[in-house]
């Protein structure tokens, strides 16, 4: 039986479109009336302090968290109108890089990357291994394929997780705090790898992060959530130039209640070449 392909995207249709989404957990409103359209073929960073609602938005995209109100469209599909089979098919069009990498410690690096090819795509073992080895070469780990994750550094484990997220050739890749727990030099190397990989593949990347430096290095578009409200969304330059006090306080790292943010913030890096490996 031939593999069923996803319908071709409509020109200029956003990868993710949220319309008036709200979410409550008990009496606590964690997302309030958020509307945004995330473009295809770019890197979008969703910034915000801890507890701002970033992870909840990611849950909307994957269909794991249902909003109390509003609509969520991903890759042209109304996520919460899909039957279970349709939702599973949509998730197969996405890749995910988890904050803790979620690697299988008992498997070798190459077997970690081959895992979704074997278990989800049902590819023959030789084909799955060949693709996994090629992906490891692309992320700079070609000579480490036989090691286990616990034999690798934090940055190397992140590269393995990226290779695995790309294994099924997804249309959309989601990143949960991609530089969390890494030192500044390793974070810069991962940022550069993400820029290079996205530029080469043209895949839509969405990263949720509280790391301003990383967002400035990788993102074409930026959204900023504060207390469950979308305070800014647009190109990186437009968001960095925002005069909204809440935006300025976060970008200039001003603690709550510390007064007004400086009037002349430093500009962000201007391109993908600002951070070199």
What would the pLDDT profile of 104-138 be if each residue is shown by its tens digit? 999 999 999 999 999 999 999 999 999 999 999 99
Instruction: Categorize the per-residue pLDDT at 276 as very low, low, confident or very high, splitting at 50, 70 and 90.
Output: very low
Instruction: Categorize the per-residue pLDDT at 271 as very low, low, confident or very high, splitting at 50, 70 and 90.
Output: very low
State the burial class of residue 54 (Cβ atoms within 10 Å of its Cβ: 0-12, 13-18, 19+).
buried
Q: Which domains does the chain have, with CATH numbers?
A: 12-93+188-277 (3.40.50.300), 101-169 (no CATH)
pTM as predicted: 0.87
pLDDT at 270 over 50: no
Place of tokens 């490891």: 136
What would the pLDDT profile of 54-78 be if each residue is shown by its tens digit? 999 999 999 999 999 999 999 999 9
User: Which of the pair, 267 or 189, is modelled with greater confidence?
Assistant: 189
Instruction: Categorize the per-residue pLDDT at 12 as very low, low, confident or very high, splitting at 50, 70 and 90.
Output: confident
Contact 68, 22 (CB under 8 A): yes
Q: What is the pLDDT of residue 154?
A: 95
pLDDT at 161 over 70: yes
Q: What is the mean pLDDT of the chain?
A: 89
């Amino acid at each position: 039986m031939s593999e069923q392909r996803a319908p071709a995207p409509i020109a200029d249709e956003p990868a993710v479109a949220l319309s008036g989404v709200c979410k409550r957990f008990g009496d606590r409103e964690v997302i309030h009336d958020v509307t945004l359209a995330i473009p295809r073929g770019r890197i979008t960073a969703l910034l915000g302090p801890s507890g701002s609602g970033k992870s909840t938005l990611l849950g909307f995209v994957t269909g794991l968290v249902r909003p109390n109100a509003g609509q969520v469209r991903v890759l042209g599909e109304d996520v919460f109108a899909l039957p279970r089979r349709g939702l599973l098919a949509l998730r197969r069009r996405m890749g995910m890089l988890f904050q803790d990498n979620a690697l299988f410690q008992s498997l070798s690096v190459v077997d970690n990357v081959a895992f979704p090819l074997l278990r989800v795509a049902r590819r023959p073992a030789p084909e799955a291994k060949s693709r996994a080895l090629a992906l490891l070469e692309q992320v700079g780990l070609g000579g480490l394929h036989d090691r286990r994750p616990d034999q690798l550094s934090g940055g190397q484990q992140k590269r393995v997780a990226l290779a695995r997220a790309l294994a099924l050739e997804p249309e959309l890749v989601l990143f949960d705090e991609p530089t969390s727990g890494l030192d500044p030099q390793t974070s810069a190397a991962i940022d550069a790898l993400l820029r290079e990989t996205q530029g080469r593949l043209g895949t839509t990347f969405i990263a949720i992060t509280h790391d301003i430096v990383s967002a400035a290095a990788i993102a074409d578009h930026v959204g900023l959530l504060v207390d469950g409200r979308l305070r800014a969304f647009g190109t990186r330059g437009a968001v960095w130039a925002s005069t909204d006090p809440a935006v300025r306080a976060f970008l200039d790292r001003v603690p709550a209640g510390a007064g007004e943010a400086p009037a002349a913030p430093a500009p962000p890096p201007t391109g993908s070449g600002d951070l070199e490996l």
